Structure formats: structure tokens, C-alpha cells
Homo-oligomer: A and B are copies of this chain.
Amino acid sequence: MLEKAHPATIDGTEPKRPEVASGVWVPAATPFRADLSIDYDRYLAHCARLFADGAHGLAVLGTTSEANSLDLGEREKVLERLLKAGISPLQLLPGTGTSSLGDTVRLTRHAISLGVRGVLLLPPFYYKGVSDEGLYAYVREVIRRVNDKRLALYLYNFPQMTTITWSPLLVGLLLQDFPETIVGLKDSSGDVDYMETLLESYPGFAVFPSSESLLLKGLRKGAAGIISATANTHVAGIRALYDNWQTDQAAALHDRASAIRAAAQPFGWIPAVKAILAAREGTSDWARVRPPLDELNDDEKNDLLAAIEAAGG
């Protein structure tokens, strides 16, 4: 059994590294051509618009990006193209987690070699019912093999996809043993208690909820920001909430962002985000997803767009 970290070893309310991310980070959706290849022109234009609309950075190559439906070479090329387009490597938080240690190390080293510092690490997601000890050993091996002090790891918690939760106990032990490397966590669980436990237990640890509905509550407890699928389509409103959370506009901004989020939810984040972008840009190409996901049908698209409009989006 793992033993609990001594609280005294995790202290301070400031991030340990000056470049630790904060703010509104967008898990940019990945547009595909009819042959399912990545449409880089459309992708780079989308990313540029996200920055123009208020994104602090891009958490590319995560669940919303369909990264686990891309092959390893494509995942590397996406980063290379973003950097070539002039985006700073410090404004990118790519997902580099796979089900295998070796492939994860490959993607992580590639990102670091390009100047990227922060990466989002999924747990190895094939086996189910794995232990904290096994996950600890996995993270330790990733850090040992990448072997680069520039690496900043953000744990990616998404039990609905992986069946695995980075337990607060395990997070504490990783923070204790790798204090220069483990810097934050993206929490896609939607579990308020989990988010608050992390924020209360580990001040200075950069926690990012994934839902607009949890952003205000999170910021009040010390969250670093947000990484939300619907920031692909509504980043300006989320940025306004982030910038004004301590003002008397906060409640109204929270209500509006949360209403848009709630309107999209029944349609599945990835097909929904892509359908909204397709409608905005007047091209059905944006709506395309890679199998095993399904594109929304016409009725669903119409219902989604009506729901978003009704929510003020």
C-alpha cells in the first residue's frame, strides 16, 4: 500500500514553476477532410481565432481533439504545425498519454524537444481496476524515461473515459516525490467534491475544472483556470467570467456560460462542438468526426443550434 504523503512536504500557495499554466485553455477540436486526414488550414485558422477571442492557451490533443483517434505520427505533426504557425510552446498543453509507457514517453519527449513544457497525462487506459501503486509506478517511469527537468506534468483525470481516477492520495504522493514535475491536473470528472478536495489539500497545485458551471466555484477555492470543450465555440464568454470572477458581474457571466454549456451537453461534446463550428463557418466539413464517434444527424444539429441560441450563445 502507498502511504500518505506528509502534509508538510507540500506547501506554499504559489506554483512551483513560473511557467505553470493558468486561465482559459481550449481543448481545440481537430477538423478532418473527407478522407479523415487532418485539415491543417482549417485547424490553424480555428486556433488563431481562439487566441483572438481570448484563449490563454490551447490544451490540444486531448479528448475533444480526438487525439486517441489520431495515430502517433499525426499527434507529433499537430504540435509541429502549431509551432510553425507561430504559437508559443508555452501556450500549448498537449495530451501525450496513451495506453503504453513507451508511446507516452515518445510523445512526451517529442513535445519537450519542441520547447513545450507542460503536457497532459492520461493514465494508461486499457486495463481496468488498476491500483494506485500501479499508476504511481507508471508515472515514475514516464518521468524517469523522459528525464528532462523542463517537463511539467498535468494529470488528466477523466474517469468517464478511462475508468481511472487520480486519487487525492496518489496526487499527494506524486507531488511529494516529484515536486518539480507534477504541477497540475485537469479534472473532467465533473465531481465538485473531488475538485475541492484537491484544491484544499494541495495549495498551489494547478487544478483546471472542465466545465463552465464549476469555474466560479473553482476559482473561489484557488483553481488555476478551465479547460472546457465548449471553449471551442464560446471562449469569449468564459474568458469574461475568468477575468471578472471577483466582480459583481460574476454571477451573470457564470449563468450565461453555464447555460450554453448545459445546452450543448445532451448532444455529446465532440459532435456538438464540431456541429456548431460547421454552422458558424457554413461548411459541413467541420462536423466530421473520426470513427468510432458519430457526427450529429440533421435533426440533432438543428435541435442543438436552437438550444444554444435559446441559451444566449
Contacts and interface: CB of A to CB of B under 8 A. Distances in A.
Interface of A: 36, 63, 68-74, 98-103, 106, 123-128, 130-131, 133-135, 137-138, 141, 160-161, 163, 290-294
Nearest to A104: B71
Contact of A124 (B98, B103, B163, B291): B291
B130 A292 contact: yes
Given A126-B125, A128-B161, A160-B128, A102 B293 contact: no
B69 A100 contact: yes
Given A69-B124, A72-B72, A141-B36, A294 B100 contact: no
B131 A294 contact: yes
A128 B292 CA distance: 9
B74 A102 contact: yes
Nearest to A125: B126
Contacts of A124: 68-69, 291-292
A293 B127 contact: yes
21 contacts: A36-B101, A36-B141, A68-B124, A69-B100, A69-B101, A69-B124, A69-B126, A71-B100, A71-B101, A71-B102, A71-B103, A72-B103, A98-B99, A99-B99, A125-B125, A127-B161, A127-B292, A128-B160, A128-B161, A130-B293, A138-B291
Given A36-B141, A71-B102, A124-B292, 5 more contacts: A69-B99, A69-B124, A98-B99, A101-B290, A130-B294
Contacts of A163: 163
Contacts of A161: 126-128
Nearest to A124: B292
B102 A134 contact: no
A246 B155 CA distance: 54
